[in-house]
Amino acid sequence: MNRKPLISIIVPVYNAEKTLHICLDSLSSQTYKNLQIIFINDCSTDNSLQVLEKFREQSQFDVEIIIHEVNRGVAAARNTGLDAVKGEYIYFVDADDAIDHDALELSAEKAEKENLDILGFSWYLTFEKNERKMNQPNFESPMEAIEKMMRGTMRWNLWLFLFKTKLFVDHNIKFIEGKNMGEDLMVAIKLFCNAKKVAYLDRHFYHYGQSNTASLTKTYSDSHIEQVSANVEDVENYLKNSELSDKLGNLIYYLKLNIKLPLLISEKISQYEKWLSWFPEANPYVMENTALPMRTRLLQLAAVKKQFWLIKLYNRVVLRMVYGVLYK
């Protein structure tokens, strides 16, 4: 019988006591047994550490708890997790989310059988009383995946992929400490840049928790924008110096428009003004990314033309009426 590869799961934890049980229950129920689970307690001030220690005592898996003496943020926590990895594959889970019981078994089976560097799958947007299936598109090559991420038709959250550890090690891929927004994007694109064989498994494995419908709208602070900008700049430089540089075309502009789109999913004019001044070099390309729905491109065009009343009206109708009905 073939030995099953070890999968290392990295879980940053910061003041997650109230929701940690959701994550821990789903990890406990995994049908795949060859797991190393690495928790990084990022100086939590609640009882997260005690919850983790109780889980370790009762767990059948190899559980490691690493403690940060000061709060350093999710990027640093994930780097600490990467340094502790022993497995052939790496998977990331957030402390308030869950994965299906057979997620790792089915993912590892396909990744091993096809010798994949990266395997992707889909997820659920999970609310208090219901959840909605969210679909990732199929991709068959690293460049196809990168293009779809940059065009805005595919998510780059790290929990949507199983990665071969060798990708991180051989190419020295790490998070930028202190840049805790947009870090998934930066690392995901670098990993796909260096991957040879990738695939998509048409299954919904991950349950991404949303506590309320208000979380569908984003208010970006100046600090948030600065952190995201640092990760986007890093990605841009990395791509331009990669073997894929001649295939990029206008994708970097589409990415920048995609990154700042949440600023328009708001009823605050101050957010629209931030949209205008953030990555202004991308603004002339608002109508060019035909992978996006026409309504999204027209929303961005309204922002370019400073027709803020139209954006406000759109949000009032779409967010309050449509999303309010769907997600309650």
| Cβ proximity of 7 and 75 under 8 Å | no
**What pLDDT score does 320 carry?**
67
Average pLDDT over the chain reads 93
Distance CA 303, CA 300 (A): 5
CA distances from 152 to 146, 254, 297, 322 (A): 10, 8, 12, 22
In a domain, 17, yes or no: yes
Q: Cα(194)–Cα(232) distance, rounded to whole angstroms?
A: 18
Query: Is the same domain home to 209 and 222?
Result: no
Kindly state whether residues 59 and 207 are assigned to the same domain.
yes
Residues 56 and 140 in one domain: yes
The answer to whether position 63 is within a domain reads yes
Looking at the structure, tell me whether residues 275 and 312 fall in a common domain: yes
pLDDT in tens, 199-220: 999 999 999 998 644 444 557 8
225 and 147 within one domain: no
Structural domain contains residue 2: no
Q: What is the CATH number of the domain that holds 32?
A: 3.90.550.10
Q: What is the DSSP letter of 86?
A: -
Query: Is pLDDT above 90 for 139?
Result: yes
Question: Is 204 found in the same domain as 67?
Answer: yes
Same domain for 80 and 200, yes or no, is yes
Does 115 share its domain with 232? Answer: no
Answer whether residue 112 is part of any domain: yes
- Per the structure, the count of domains in the chain is 2
For residue 88, name the pLDDT band (cuts at 50, 70, 90). very high
What is the pLDDT, as a whole number, of residue 2? 67
- With respect to residue 29, please indicate whether it lies within any of the assigned structural domains: yes
Residue 267, pLDDT score? 86
Query: Two tokens at 244?
Result: 């894929």
**What is the H or E stretch that residue 108 is in?**
helix 103-113
Domain hosting residue 302, numbered range: 218-326
Task: Look at 89-93, 162-166, 261-265, 299-303 and tell me which has the smallest mean pLDDT.
Answer: 261-265
| Last residue within a domain, chosen from 184, 213, 242 | 213
Last residue of a domain, one of 197, 213, 229: 213
Residue 9 Cα to chain centre, angstroms: 15
Q: Are residues 306 and 168 in the same domain?
A: no
Q: Is pLDDT at 154 greater than 90 in this prediction?
A: yes
Quote the pTM value: 0.94
Neighbours of 216 (CB within 10 A): 15
Percent of the chain with pLDDT over 70: 94
Please list the residues that pair with 156 across neighbouring strands.
none
In a domain, 1, yes or no: no
Asked, for residue 318, whether it belongs to a domain, the answer is yes
Q: Do 257 and 282 sit in the same domain of this protein?
A: yes
- Is the pLDDT confidence value at 10 over 60? yes
Instruction: Answer yes or no: do 34 and 168 share one domain.
Output: yes
Q: What is the pLDDT of residue 128?
A: 80
What's the pLDDT score for residue 211?
A: 62
- Of 178, 213, 248, the domain-final residue: 213
Tokens read off for 8:
């290392």
Residues 65 and 190 grouped into a single domain: yes
The DSSP result for 40-84, as a single string, is EE-S-SSSHHHHHHHHHHH-SSEEEEEE-SS---HHHHHHHHHHH
pLDDT digits (tens, 9 = 90+) for 166-193: 999 999 999 999 999 999 999 999 999 9
CA distance 151 to 17: 37
Q: Is residue 181 part of a domain?
A: yes
pLDDT in tens, 124-135: 998 888 889 999
